[in-house]
């Protein structure tokens, strides 16, 4: 008997009830960022794929091996090629794991010319796991830009055809804008897997808005998401340490009802890749897992960034530190928002088949089980359980602020602020935490932190 495909048993509700195409019986207001994104009605820019052969300094050293590599790059089966956009910590984890599987040709998409020059001199990703460093270099590497290369071969991205398999591992604020920039090269046979933290921006009702604005009917890609709990820390350009091996829950956000089988190849590659420990989950389970991970990220990450501490320092034995009291405030507001979201009409589509993770039970479509799952007490227990597992880790937001990079605060706590507004609620403490993190290099002690949250005096 043939093995069931990812789409056949993970997305059965989508065959009957496509999340991107369903009619809405409630008012839909596109978020301001989404409205701004789709206000550009052009086809999308024509992009050129620079390789190291387009670097003048490198061309002076080129040889027949490079020319053979270029021919192989063009001749490889495009439907089997996996493109990875964003080569930060998660991008390196996925790239090296898929390379170790050794089946798909992989193209790393770099975001600036300087990284292409760096690759020309050091052509490998280094990842350290359990004290052992592995160098992986069997990748094709490109910089995609509107600038036509002045030297070397001139090639359009994917020879002007569509991208078959795309893993998006940029930071959360850049994910959808970067994918939108590639819309000229995306179609119904494309599969796009988002792997960053934060909630996917294409969950209902926003996915329908984006697809309707960007693609002809039934011509949008298959959108999937990977909830990644691995802890990966940067050691420098193209170097990371796989500090806390964990797992990945992968499922469909929305599939194209006419081409959903096209997603099976990329999904299978991720499921079988070593070190990823990926598993497939249904849409409803994916949604729940993303929301729960968002609760963790919006609580631990910003506080470690403000206090400049490892994750475990937020938790005290007495439980009465300022950081723990602030966490309680954030969890209470998160619970309020999530319980309201579960009961909102926009969630009915996701909950149509409600098999939730860790329970194995089928609940009624009103999501009563989720109301208990998203209670303050349950979220608090979950946070402390995760906190114990990652106590020795450095959060991604702390890594960002110490290196002067943009944080994901608006994708974490900002999501709760935006969703609360959409639902007619208020989240003043999440607003405060956003403002504090965005206040440059602000560093606080426990006492200073408490003064920004007067409500902790009521706890």
Active site residues: 293
Pairwise CA distance, residues 289 & 297, whole Å: 12
Pairwise CA distance, residues 388 & 370, whole Å: 24
Task: Give the tokens for residue 203.
Answer: 């969950």
Give how far Cα 216 sits from Cα of 39, 127, 175, 259, Å.
Answer: 16, 41, 22, 14
Pairing of strands 125-129, 239-244: parallel
Residue pair 231/244 in contact (Cβ under 8 Å)? The answer is: yes
* Residue 205, preceding peptide bond in cis (omega within 30° of 0): yes
Order of all β-strands in the sheet with 140-145: 48-50, 140-145, 106-110, 82-85, 165-168, 191-194, 222-228, 248-254, 278-280
Pairwise CA distance, residues 333 & 335, whole Å: 5
Q: What is the DSSP string of 130-187?
A: TTEEEEE---EEEEEESSPPSSS---BGGGGS--SEEEE-S-HHHHHHHHHHTGGG--
How many other C-beta atoms can be found within 10 angstroms of the C-beta atom of residue 370?
23
Pairwise CA distance, residues 336 & 380, whole Å: 13
Burial code (b: 16+ CB inside 10 Å, e: under 16) for 160-175 equals: eebbbbbbbbbbbbbb
Task: Give the tokens for residue 404.
Answer: 């002067």
Three-point CA angle 58, 63, 65, nearest 5°? 110
Single out the residue of 141, 147, 179 nearest to residue 163, CA to CA.
179
Residue pair 249/267 in contact (Cβ under 8 Å)? The answer is: no
**Secondary structure E strands in 255-346:** 278-280
């Amino acid at each position: 008997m043939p093995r069931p495909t990812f789409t056949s048993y993970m997305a059965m509700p989508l065959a009957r009830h496509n999340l991107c195409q369903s009619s809405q019986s409630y008012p839909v207001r596109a978020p301001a960022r989404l409205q701004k994104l789709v206000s550009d009605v052009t086809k999308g820019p024509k992009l050129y794929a620079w390789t190291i052969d387009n670097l003048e300094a490198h061309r002076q050293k080129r040889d027949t091996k490079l020319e053979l590599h270029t021919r192989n790059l063009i001749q490889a089966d495009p439907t089997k090629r996996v493109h990875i956009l964003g080569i930060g910590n998660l991008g390196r984890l996925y790239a090296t794991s898929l390379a170790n599987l050794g089946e798909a040709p992989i193209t790393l998409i770099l975001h600036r010319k300087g990284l292409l020059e760096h690759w020309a001199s050091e052509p490998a990703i280094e990842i350290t796991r359990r004290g052992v460093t592995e160098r992986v270099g069997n990748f094709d590497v490109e910089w995609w830009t509107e600038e036509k290369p002045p030297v070397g071969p001139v090639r359009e991205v994917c020879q002007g055809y569509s991208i078959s398999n795309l893993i998006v591992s940029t930071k959360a604020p850049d994910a959808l804008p970067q994918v939108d920039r590639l819309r000229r090269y995306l179609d119904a046979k494309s599969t796009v897997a988002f792997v960053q933290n934060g909630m996917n921006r294409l969950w209902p009702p926003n996915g329908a808005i984006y697809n309707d604005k960007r693609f002809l009917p039934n011509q949008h890609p298959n959108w999937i998401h990977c909830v990644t709990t691995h802890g990966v820390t940067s050691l420098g350009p193209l170097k990371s340490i796989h500090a806390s091996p964990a797992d990945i829950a992968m499922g469909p956000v929305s599939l194209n009802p006419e081409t959903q089988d096209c997603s099976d190849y990329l999904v299978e590659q991720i499921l079988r890749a070593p070190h990823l420990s990926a598993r497939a989950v249904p849409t409803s389970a994916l949604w729940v897992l993303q929301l729960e991970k968002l609760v963790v990220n919006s609580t631990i990450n910003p506080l470690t960034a403000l206090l400049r501490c490892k994750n475990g320092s937020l938790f005290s034995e007495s439980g009465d530190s300022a950081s723990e009291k602030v966490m309680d405030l954030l969890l209470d507001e998160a619970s309020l928002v999530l319980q309201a979201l579960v009961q909102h009409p926009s969630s009915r589509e996701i909950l149509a088949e409600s098999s939730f993770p860790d329970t194995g039970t089928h609940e009624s479509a009103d999501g009563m089980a989720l109301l208990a799952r998203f209670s303050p007490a349950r979220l608090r227990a979950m946070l402390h359980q995760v906190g114990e597992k990652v106590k020795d880790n450095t959060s991604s937001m702390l890594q960002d602020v110490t290196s002067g990079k943009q944080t994901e605060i608006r994708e974490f706590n900002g999501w709760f602020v935006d969703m609360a507004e959409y639902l007619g609620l208020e989240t003043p403490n999440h607003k405060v935490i956003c403002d504090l993190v965005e206040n440059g290099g602000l560093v606080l002690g426990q006492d200073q932190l408490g003064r920004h949250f007067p409500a902790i005096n009521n706890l």
